[in-house]
Amino acid sequence: MNTPVEGFSRLSKAEKIDWIASNFTKDAERTKQLLQQYWNPDKKVQKVHDEFIENTVSNYYLPFALAPNFLINDKLYAIPMVIEESSVVAAASKAAKFWLNRGGFKTAVIGTEKVGQVHFIFKGDSNKLQGFFDEIKPDFFKNTKSITQSMEKRGGGIKEILLRNMSDKVEGYHQLHCTFETKDAMGANFINSCLEQFASTLKVRASAYESFTTEEQDIEVVMSILSNYVPNCLVRAEVSCAVDALTEDGISAKEFAEKIIQAIAIAKAEPYRAVTHNKGIMNGVDAVILATGNDFRAIEAGIHAYASKDGPYSSLTHATVEGDVFKFWIEIPLALGTVGGLTSLHPLVKLALEILQNPSAEELMQIVAVAGLAQNFAAVRSLVTTGIQKGHMKMHLLNLLNQMGATENEKQQLVQYFKTNTVTNASVKEALEKIQSE
């Protein structure tokens, strides 16, 4: 029976591997070989990877791919994407090629405001608290000068600090709602450092504020933390062309445009469809976020919250025909960074940013939004024409063949065979068995 381990973090990497292999896997030697197989042969690079997180024993690789031919604001890009799902990169590339000769993608950053909050309990007169806040507000800025100095030199810093009374939701609950500009940094550490100083200033000043009762002076700070919901850190990406230019095999341009608009309308009205619709958008968004060393979990949380901003969960993309012009667009919140964190540590992140021509955070916001829009256009285009499985399963063919243990010669034969035949798990298995029997 396995037993708990003491001081695991203090063990060497080899000791950690020995322990996990011996206690939790059937073949300890095979486990050790597998974990070591994925180490980077460059010891300096491996040391960097080892120090990203705690208790590392190996690396977990995902494919690093490129989606070419993205024309964004009349500038051509090849977009790095890190993702394990087949057909995503192909779909993005296909959408980029479709719009390349139809004007490309147009983008604009609407806002770059980020948010952090100090959550606290105040049991007393809220009007007195407001007067206290108005009096000490300059101290919040003054007491964070050492933190904000460098950021202010780059054009960032604290934008605003507001007192909010939230006691109708939780008894005594109030908050400092704070907004920040962090320029090319994602800014999480900067924001959290400011917030913790705000909390300290709040408690110290309250404890000596003569107009408060003893109970009111004892403000309870619950937590100080940035928010990943950034509805004012917003970017827009769109494509448009004459309806007649929406050429598609087997369907008229007008019907194609109408079907896309209907598909978007359904995703706006039906949350079950909207979730899958938006997941497809995130295939593109997350792949670029990962490639550029940003936090895809924070982005996912913020974007999905934004999809519910008007009530029911709904589509993040929109489509219209105005006159004879078809327009397809997206607006999403993206708090990204191109300096700090993994951007200066991970060799492939550095390369991804170089491939993107070393964008600013605002430029990266636009590129990521385009990747999401392209992915969604490709998915909706397939859904309203040939269906999603035809293209997806062809891209999934090699995965199926690898799972079934096909040889290289068998793969070559079956790739040719399925150029004109439907790919399913059963059909691939049958075709492979037929070749093997012959």
DSSP output for 65-105 = EEEEEEEETTEEEEEEEE--STTHHHHHHHHHHHHHTTT-B
Told to judge if 106 belongs to the known catalytic residues of this protein, a careful annotator would answer: no
The CATH number of residue 368's host domain is: 3.90.770.10
**258 within domain boundaries:** yes
Whether residues 308 and 357 fall in one domain:
yes
Predicted local confidence at residue 334, as pLDDT: 98
User: Could you tell me if residue 58 is inside a domain?
Assistant: no
Q: Is position 320 within any domain?
A: yes
In a domain, 59, yes or no: no
pLDDT at position 185 = 94
Among residues of the chain, what percentage have pLDDT more than 90?
Answer: 84
Boundary-marking domain end, from 386, 411, 427: 386
Active site residue 43: no
The pLDDT of residue 427: 84
Q: State yes or no: is 177 an active-site residue.
A: no
Rounded percentage of the chain residues whose pLDDT exceeds 70: 97
Distance CA 329, CA 106 (A): 9
**Residue 28: what pLDDT?**
95
Does 259 lie in the same domain as 350? yes
- Quote the CA–CA distance of 190 and 150 in Å, as a whole number: 10
Question: Does 247 share its domain with 285?
Answer: yes
Average pLDDT (273-298) is 98
Catalytic, out of 183, 392, 394, 396: 392
Give the tens place of pLDDT for each residue, 200-235: 999 999 999 999 999 999 999 999 999 999 999 999
Q: Which domain holds residue 168?
A: 114-227
- 119 and 134 assigned to the same domain: yes
- Residue 405: is its pLDDT beyond 90? no
Instruction: Note whether 269 and 340 are same-domain residues.
Output: yes
Contact 259, 321 (CB under 8 A): no
- Are 190 and 218 within one domain? yes
Domain identity same for 32 and 86:
no
Query: What pLDDT, on the 0 to 100 scale, is given for residue 211?
Result: 95
**How many residues are recorded in the chain?**
438
Q: Which residue in the list 13, 254, 259, 279 is annotated as catalytic?
A: 279
Domain boundary among 161, 194, 227: 227
CATH number of residue 167's parent domain:
3.30.70.420
Do 18 and 86 lie in one domain? The reply is no
Give the DSSP H/E element, type plus range, for residue 344: none
Count of domains forming the chain: 4
CA distances from 306 to 22, 230, 273, 303, 334 (A): 46, 8, 16, 5, 11
Residue 268 inside a domain? The answer is yes
Catalytic entry in 295, 346, 394, 396: 295
3-state secondary structure of 297: helix
- Tell me, yes or no, whether 212 and 259 share the same domain: no
- Same domain (yes/no): 341, 430: no
Residue-averaged pLDDT of the chain: 94
19-23, 117-121, 138-142: segment of lowest average pLDDT: 19-23
Same structural domain for residues 344 and 276? yes
Query: Of 13, 18, 85, 300, which is the active-site residue?
Result: 85
Selection from 386, 434, 404, 397 nearest residue 419 by Cα: 397
Whether 279 is catalytic is yes
Residue 64 lies in a domain: no
Q: Are residues 292 and 427 in the same domain?
A: no
Tokens standing for 373? 């829009």
Q: Does the pTM exceed 0.95?
A: no
Distances (CA, A) of 404 to 7, 84, 86, 393, 407: 42, 19, 17, 15, 9
Amino acid at 29: E
pLDDT of 391 > 70? The answer is: no
Instruction: Assess whether pLDDT exceeds 60 at residue 392.
Output: no
How confident is the model at residue 420, as a pLDDT? Answer: 76
Q: Has residue 3 been placed in a domain?
A: no
Position 123 in a domain: yes
Opening angle at CA 133, ends 128 and 139, nearest 5: 145
